[in-house]
Amino acid sequence: MVSADSVRYQIDADDWQVRQEQSTASPYTSPLFDTDRLYVTGSGGLQAIDIDTELLWTRSNDRLVTGIASTENTVYAIESNARGGQLIALDAATGDVRWTTDRIGETYTDPVVSRYVYVTNAAGQIFALDQNDGNVVWSHQTGTRDSRFTVPAVGDGVLFVSDEGPGSVRAIRESNGETLWETVIYRNESRKKQTGTLFAPILTEGYVLVSAGPAGLVGLDREDGQKRYQNASKTVVSPLAVSHETIYAATPSGLMLFEPSD
């Protein structure tokens, strides 16, 4: 399943032929596959489809579905527009609403589920919400006003956040929102000129990796935020992807890959 230009395409994995096209209710949300269910936005709202492409349930709404995350038993969907947003917890099997909260405000990004459900809104505020009832446990204000790239990476009880406002990457304790460290990413170290672009980070065993626009690919130590690696030979213009220890990134001239060295 691929979403593009408000159309959802069903593409055959063997011959790459388009088998089905359907208008979607949202231009923002990519399909999410979890275990044996596919969650997509369609003309009727949020839909759950099983592995045999049978429609299991539909959640109708009067706002755009702008983010989806899931666990084995629960689907978390963000419904948002310029008047505000709400996070809804749905039963994964039936689509029944378990709880709803409108505390998050307008947002156009996927939630992240770990100890809590983390949502970043369009004003740059990160909310930690209780999975059982949606109550706000803590919140953290960033300097970024475009939440698409402020989606945190979570590991070992810590959130790692790219914050374009100050041009930094920050580590935040999951339990209480405390800032553990913050590292400014410079495109020019000698002149201390901060990068103007930071995409959402990804985690490897010991590092936080972030694509940083003209500052290239940067690797920080997960424990203390110290810079351990930087390759600024090309401007990186996309989030990173990792597969089998190889890192992929887009540049203005094409795709770049980084492999671990001995």
Alpha helices in 122-231 (DSSP H): none
Interval 221-245 mean pLDDT: 90
Which range has highest mean pLDDT (94-108, 139-153, 166-180)? 166-180
Reference 36, options 82, 81, 70; nearest CA is: 70
Percentage of the chain exceeding pLDDT 90: 44
Q: pLDDT, tens digit, for every residue of 19-76?
A: 888 666 555 567 788 878 888 876 667 889 888 878 899 988 777 788 899 998 999 9
Q: pLDDT, tens digit, for every residue of 105-119?
A: 888 888 999 999 999
pTM of the model: 0.85
Q: pLDDT, tens digit, for every residue of 164-194?
A: 888 999 999 999 999 999 999 998 777 788 8
Reference 148, options 30, 54, 253; nearest CA is: 30
pLDDT band at 262 (very low <50, low <70, confident <90, very high): very low
Q: What does the DSSP assignment read for 31-78?
A: PEEETTEEEEEETTEEEEEETT--EEEEE--SSEEEEEEE-SSEEEEE
